[in-house]
Amino acid sequence: MAMRERLQEALKDAMRAKAVDRLSTLRLINAAIKDRDIANRGDGGDGVVSDGDILAIMGKMVKQRQESARAYEEGGRLELAEKELAEIGVIEEFLPRQLDAAEVEAALVAAIAETGAASIRDMGRVMAVLKGKYTGQMDFGAVGLRLKDRLG
């Protein structure tokens, strides 16, 4: 089942169950996807984002909520932090399992070998391979730093 279909089914189920918080989060996901669809149309595309793009959108949403939750906790607003963490839980239901540190390292080594990367100039090619294979499964910001250390 495609990602859009899974999200639509979850949205309908949340409506039937009257799960207000879950419904709200699912609507936020759909809104973000529709925004990207509209942006694609403006860029001359067909206006439909792929499952990989949807995974990237949701990964970004998780990262934003983690930062917000951290800020709320530091500010003593625990009820808002809990709300952000609950939204993360709903979003992560649709994301693939995150790779652990050893799996990320193995993927990094394999991508470097596959591209024949030898210097920092090859970083873009390695990241493209990783994004093609592991979208939604790893934090590319952290991986980029590790790759830079390795190639630099």
Q: Is the pLDDT of residue 86 over 70?
A: yes
Per-domain boundaries in the chain: 3-92, 101-151
Per CATH, domain 101-151 is 1.10.150.120: no
pLDDT, position 45: 67
Q: What is 3-92's CATH number, 1.10.1510.10, 3.90.1150.10, 3.40.50.460, 1.20.1090.10?
A: 1.10.1510.10
Average pLDDT over residues 69-94: 94
pLDDT, position 40: 83
d(CA 117, CA 77): 46
Query: Closest Cα partner for 143 from 116, 110, 105?
Result: 105
- Please count the other Cβ atoms lying within 10 Å of the Cβ belonging to residue 142: 11
CB of 91 within 8 A of CB of 61? yes
pTM here is: 0.74
Q: Is the pLDDT of residue 81 over 90?
A: yes
Alpha helix (H) residue ranges in 18-139 = 20-42, 51-74, 78-92, 101-115, 123-134
For the chain, the average pLDDT equals 89
